[in-house]
């Protein structure tokens, strides 16, 4: 079959078996379900509550929130207009969560709001391994406290999910980007330092130097990295408040025995960060090595129009990159649940019986497979195997007359005659066991 339509480059289907589309992920939908279950379970342990926000958001929210000069906003938004409204497919979920927090006055629920999410995001990046145009994030936002314990709880929460999945050898990079005053002093020093090197900088870096100087530290060009080797370091410009916060975060991480490496060049690709910034990396997943990242964003709520400050910290991770890391480390999710019982029918009357009984057994909570195409018994048995049925019943004229069926345990091949009246109890007993 040569299909006329295909999924858009950088997006992919998640199939019951393995996907063969564009190599984004070969994981079947059951693996996604497993990961989502782990996320819900660990979030629950950390008493985080789920929030679901729309995939469409007003463009100005993202432009203001993430920052007009970031790559995400200036190059990668899937945005469009209808009438007077500007829509964007959300490229991330932090600004939307802050919007929802302000819109619904979630502060009035009292205390700190610990909100988590799982869902698709969209960025018009050049697709490659670990980088897609539709991808899936999970994350959490701890809102309404500037206590460094929130920073560390957020990091611990992120780490706990990877631990529960069984990944090892991950690297947590940590930095402080300080408060705006410290950052302004640093930016000035950085600009002064780079002035004599202007003619050696790429067009992109020159633009960044004007609009978003911190991002220069992110350059991948080797000669620029060399120039930056002796550049001023952000950490040296932290004021007392920022330094104290950073020191406390490090102490608390040590208390929890969460290993980290300090990386003064870690600047994140979104503009809203203050103080703590972090990224979790895996060496196993190629160039797009960041599994997840986050940081503190104490000023974002005000940037989005709040009169009150809502000091907050959060993280987000990509599910596709988590899948790549699992694959690289040979971690397999549990297989999809199999069918409890397959009902194979021989003849018209038996087909009708099976059709009715399938509903009855399902109402009793069993998962039941049956043939919907009137195929031969041989094909039906093949189908039972494909569905990995634990038991199979073969119903024909004789069975109907006798009022009982042969129930076959597929793995052992053992077979037993069971009266129809006892069928539900018989199957339930064995399947629960
Ligand atoms: P981010 O670093 O832009 O942060 O994205 C977080 C994670 O999403 C990345 O580490 C990566 O795993 C995944 N990701 C991002 N872009 C792609 C892509 N094109 N394809 C596949 N995966 C991708 C944020 O989005 C912030 N909202 C994190 C945060 C939450 N900060 C505070 N709270």
Averaged pLDDT for residues 197-208: 89
**Strand 261-262 to 79-82 pairing:** unpaired
Phi, psi of 113 (to 5 degrees): -95, 125
Angstrom distance (rounded) from CA 280 to CA 170 = 7
- Report whether 325 contacts 167 (CB < 8 A): yes
175 lines ligand 1 (CB under 6 A): no
Taken in order 217, 222, 223, 226, the sign of the CA dihedral is positive
Strands (E), 23-156: 49-50, 56-58, 79-82, 85-89, 113-122, 134-143
Averaged pLDDT for residues 256-284: 95
Domains of the chain (ranges plus CATH)? Answer: 29-179+239-328 (3.30.930.10), 341-432 (3.40.50.800)
Query: What average pLDDT does the structure give for the chain?
Result: 94
- Retrieve residue 8's tokens: 């858009």
315 lines ligand 1 (CB under 6 A): yes
Share of the chain above pLDDT 70, in %: 98
Whether residue 24 has pLDDT greater than 70? no
pLDDT at 64: 97
pTM of the model: 0.94
pLDDT at 215: 85
Cα–ligand 1 centroid distance for 90 (angstroms): 12
Confidence of residue 163 (pLDDT cuts 50, 70, 90): very high
pLDDT at 336: 86
67 lines ligand 1 (CB under 6 A): no
| Number of residues that this document lists for the chain | 433
Whether residue 241 has pLDDT greater than 80? yes
- Retrieve residue 172's tokens: 């947590």
Rg (CA), the chain: 28
Cα–ligand 1 centroid distance for 317 (angstroms): 6
Angstrom distance (rounded) from CA 321 to CA 325 = 6
**Strand 368-370 to 341-345 pairing:** parallel
- Retrieve residue 198's tokens: 């202007």
Cα–ligand 1 centroid distance for 7 (angstroms): 22
Confidence of residue 46 (pLDDT cuts 50, 70, 90): very high
295 lines ligand 1 (CB under 6 A): yes
Cα–ligand 1 centroid distance for 35 (angstroms): 17
pLDDT at 132: 96
Whether residue 177 has pLDDT greater than 70? yes
Whether residue 418 has pLDDT greater than 90? yes
pLDDT at 212: 84
Whether residue 25 has pLDDT greater than 70? no
Whether residue 152 has pLDDT greater than 60? yes
pLDDT at 61: 98
Ligand 1 probe mutation, 92, 100, 215, most atoms within 8 A of CB: 92
137 lines ligand 1 (CB under 6 A): yes
Least confident of 8-12, 111-115, 158-162: 8-12
- Retrieve residue 262's tokens: 């300090």
pLDDT at 145: 98
- Retrieve residue 280's tokens: 């979790």
296 lines ligand 1 (CB under 6 A): no
pLDDT at 20: 53
């Amino acid at each position: 079959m040569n299909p006329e339509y295909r999924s858009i480059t950088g997006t992919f289907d998640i199939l019951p078996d393995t996907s063969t589309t564009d190599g984004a992920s070969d994981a079947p939908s059951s693996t996604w379900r497993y990961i989502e279950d782990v996320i819900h379970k660990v979030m629950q342990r950390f008493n985080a509550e789920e929030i679901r926000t729309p995939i469409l958001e007003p463009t100005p929210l993202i432009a203001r929130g993430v920052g007009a000069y970031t790559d995400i906003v200036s190059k990668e938004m899937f945005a469009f207009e209808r009438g007077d409204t500007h829509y964007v497919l959300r490229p991330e979920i932090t600004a939307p969560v802050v919007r929802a927090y302000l819109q619904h006055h979630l502060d009035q629920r009292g205390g700190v709001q610990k909100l988590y999410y799982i869902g698709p995001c969209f960025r018009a990046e050049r697709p490659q391994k670990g980088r897609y145009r539709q991808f899936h994030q999970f994350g959490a936002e701890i809102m309404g406290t500037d206590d460094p314990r929130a920073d560390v709880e957020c990091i611990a929460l992120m780490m706990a999910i990877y631990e529960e999945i069984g990944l090892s050898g991950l690297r947590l990079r940590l930095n402080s980007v300080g408060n705006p005053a410290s950052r302004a002093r640093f930016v000035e020093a950085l600009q002064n330092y780079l002035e004599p090197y202007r003619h050696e900088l790429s067009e992109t870096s020159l633009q960044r130097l004007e609009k978003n100087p911190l991002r220069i530290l992110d350059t991948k060009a080797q000669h620029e990295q060399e120039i930056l080797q002796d550049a001023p370091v952000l950490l040296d410009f932290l004021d007392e408040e920022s330094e104290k916060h950073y020191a406390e975060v490090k102490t608390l991480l040590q208390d929890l025995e969460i290993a980290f490496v300090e990386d003064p060049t870690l600047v994140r690709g979104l503009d809203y960060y203050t103080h703590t910034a972090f990224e979790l990396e895996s060496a196993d997943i190629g160039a797009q090595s960041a599994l997840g990242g986050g940081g503190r964003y104490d000023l974002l709520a005000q940037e989005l129009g709040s009169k009150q400050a809502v000091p907050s910290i959060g993280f987000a991770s990509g599910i596709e990159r988590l899948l790549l890391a699992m694959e690289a480390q040979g971690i397999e999710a549990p297989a999809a649940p199999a069918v409890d019982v397959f009902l194979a029918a021989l003849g018209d009357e038996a087909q009708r019986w099976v059709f009715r009984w399938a509903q009855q057994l399902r109402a009793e909570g069993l998962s039941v497979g049956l043939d919907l195409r009137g195929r031969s018994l041989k094909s039906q048995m093949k189908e039972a195997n494909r569905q990995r049925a634990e038991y199979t019943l073969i119903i024909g004229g004789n069975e109907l007359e006798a009022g009982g069926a042969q129930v076959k345990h597929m793995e052992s091949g053992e077979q037993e005659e069971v009266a129809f009246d006892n069928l539900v109890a018989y199957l339930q007993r064995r399947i629960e066991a």
